[in-house]
Amino acid sequence: MNPAKDLKDLRVDYGRDPLVEAQLDPDPIMQFQRWFDEASASGIPEPNAMSLATVDEQGQPACRTVLLKGLDERGFVFFTNYTSRKGKHLTEHPSAALLFPWIALQRQVEITGPVEKLSEEESTAYFDSRPRGSRIGAWVSNQSAEIPSRQYLLDRNEEFERRFASSSIPRPDFWGGFRVIPETIEFWQGGHDRLHDRIRYGKKNRTWFHVRLSP
């Protein structure tokens, strides 16, 4: 088998109706919500899954998948261990890109902008809403650190299960939320013969505007 040959033959011709500017909401947050609701209703798994791109102090990029857990006019919210690789990246270089890859719908959305930490009150409110196992897991995992084995992780889980067996589980001070404040939001939709639609929103004088980009 020649993998390179097989890969070059993989091809899908997209066929959605064109994305017409007149049908778009002037507010990209509202337009995102519209697409997100359609993605949720479609039954695709975890429509709130998004790729998060960051850079380290040497400018080396990294990308991983996180889950959108909050959205309003201020921006896009997710939660993590602040001492993790992404947490350190965002603390040192508070800027990021997000990508929602709704491939089954022939759509994707990219967001770029600066990043801020959520308040302790916001992070605690979300932490307290999580299932017990997830709250324990936040204490168990020194995220991104090397560990000797999976058994080590299971042992730590048992340790914290015992510690919090008869008490509430507080939010660790090393765990909380980030908000990506959108400066650009680009909506991509597949079209016939690779003539895709790309509409990018930006801000001028605090007012959203949008332009069409060549695919």
Tens of pLDDT, residue by residue over 27-54, are: 999 999 999 999 999 999 999 999 999 9
Instruction: Establish if 177 belongs to a structural domain.
Output: yes
* Under 8 Å between Cβ of 82 and 174: yes
Q: Which two tokens stand for residue 208?
A: 């959203």
Instruction: Assign residue 208 the CATH number of its domain.
Output: 2.30.110.10
Instruction: Establish if 142 belongs to a structural domain.
Output: no
Instruction: Please work out, in degrees rounded to the nearest 5, the angle formed at the alpha carbon of residue 56 by the alpha carbons of 79 and 183.
Output: 60
Domains in the chain, number = 1
- Work out the average pLDDT over 48-69: 97
Asked if pLDDT for residue 2 goes beyond 80, the answer is no
Distance CA 144, CA 86 (A): 9
Q: Which residue has the higher pLDDT, 129 or 193?
A: 129
Q: Cα separations (Å) of 100 from 6, 92, 171, 188, 202?
A: 27, 24, 28, 10, 18
Asked if pLDDT for residue 4 goes beyond 80, the answer is no
Give me the pLDDT at residue 3, please.
Answer: 62
Q: Which of 34, 194, 198, 206 is catalytic?
A: 194
Instruction: Establish if 118 belongs to a structural domain.
Output: yes
Instruction: Establish if 63 belongs to a structural domain.
Output: yes
Active site residue 132: no
Whose CA is closest to 169, among 113, 105, 124?
124
Instruction: Establish if 167 belongs to a structural domain.
Output: no
Whose CA is closest to 206, among 180, 176, 181?
181
pTM: 0.92
Instruction: Please work out, in degrees rounded to the nearest 5, the angle formed at the alpha carbon of residue 29 by the alpha carbons of 71 and 89.
Output: 55
